[in-house]
Amino acid sequence: MQLKHLKTLLTPQEGAAKVTCMAWAPNNTKFAVCTVDRVVLLYDEQGERRDKFSTKPLDSKYGKQSYVVNDMAFSPDSTKIAIGQSDNIIFVYKIGEDWGDKKAICNKFVQTNAVTCLLWPAEHAVVYGLVDGKVRLANTQTNKSSTIYGTESCVVSLATNVSGKGILSGHADGTVVRYFFDDEGSGESQGKLFMHPCPPYALAWGANSIMVGGCDKKVVAYSREGHILQTFEYSRDRTEREFTVAATSPSGQSVVFGSYDRLRVFNWAPRRGVWDEAKPKEILNLYTITSLAWKKDGSRLCAGTLCGGVELFDCCKNILNLNPI
């Protein structure tokens, strides 16, 4: 799989205007982008902007500048969006099925700490990480939240397996923890899986292994039980910077890492049981990639940047490498 640039959905600005998070709807019909001004922009599958809504602070008395949206996720039925914020709250917005439907808050989950990242893997279950190291579950049916497990270190990343029945959390001290709602008969262990040498901001759970990137300019592939399988080393490349974000294709066969002006693509080679790196996608003046979102049918990948740009890529099958892009 290789990436082919299709179009710019959001034009970058002159200075820092970070795209904080993005998400594709599971039914592939909507794509959401949250900008630095805390507004969620909604696009159709062709990349045309169709709708938007403003997020809200925990309490209006603190004003609109009092928080940052750190992450968001669509519900499995694609009609709601969960928004995780730095002012210690998750709001769930009902956005409806059609463009222009009224947006309304249908759930609020107040926390004791800032929400750093979140996922929505199952019908009523929003999984999220907090600054205090806890990984929690918010039930949108009962409107109650509970702690799945706690650690001593800030949650910096979350990832699910292909089925959505297992989660990984990456922590600021380098710890990566695995938890299963259902291990689907795999018998794989739960709990602390391994310690990465730096905070695992770029965390991906592929079909056959776990891949991690961070500030040490390395991408490391770990086995299902946390042993190092492969290391891709870029510390001698003066043009490379830290890896800030990662995304796994819906099939789990490809993983993309974002850094500075560059997307690195890794494809699983089943016959050899290893990851192969494809030709990197380099775009001058893209700057730091802050968010990645993969369309659920696997055909498109979006990248958001520090300067507020959003780029849409086609995920091309690389047939015998006859037409390198």
Q: What is the pLDDT of residue 321?
A: 42
Q: What is the pLDDT of residue 319?
A: 44
Alpha-carbon span 34 to 72, nearest angstrom: 8
Tens of pLDDT along 109-137? 999 999 999 999 998 999 999 999 999 99
pLDDT-based confidence at 312, cuts 50/70/90? very high
pLDDT (mean) for 191-204: 97
pLDDT (mean) for 254-258: 97
- Specify whether the CB–CB gap between 263 and 303 falls below 8 A: yes
Q: What is the pLDDT of residue 322?
A: 35
150 has a pLDDT exceeding 90: yes
Tokens of 32: 């959401």
pLDDT-based confidence at 318, cuts 50/70/90? low
Tens of pLDDT along 19-60? 999 999 999 999 999 999 999 999 999 999 999 999 999 988
pLDDT-based confidence at 63, cuts 50/70/90? confident
Alpha-carbon span 244 to 212, nearest angstrom: 10
Q: Which range among 56-65, 101-110, 204-213, 266-275 shows the weakest confidence by mean pLDDT?
A: 56-65
DSSP 8-state class, residue 102:
P
pTM of the model: 0.94
Which DSSP string do the residues of 248-301 spell out, in sequence order?
E-TTSSEEEEE-BSEEEEEEEETTTTEEEE---EE-TT--BEEEEEE-TTSSEE
Alpha-carbon span 281 to 258, nearest angstrom: 10
241 has a pLDDT exceeding 90: yes
Q: Which range among 57-61, 90-94, 265-269 shows the weakest confidence by mean pLDDT?
A: 57-61
Q: What is the pLDDT of residue 164?
A: 93
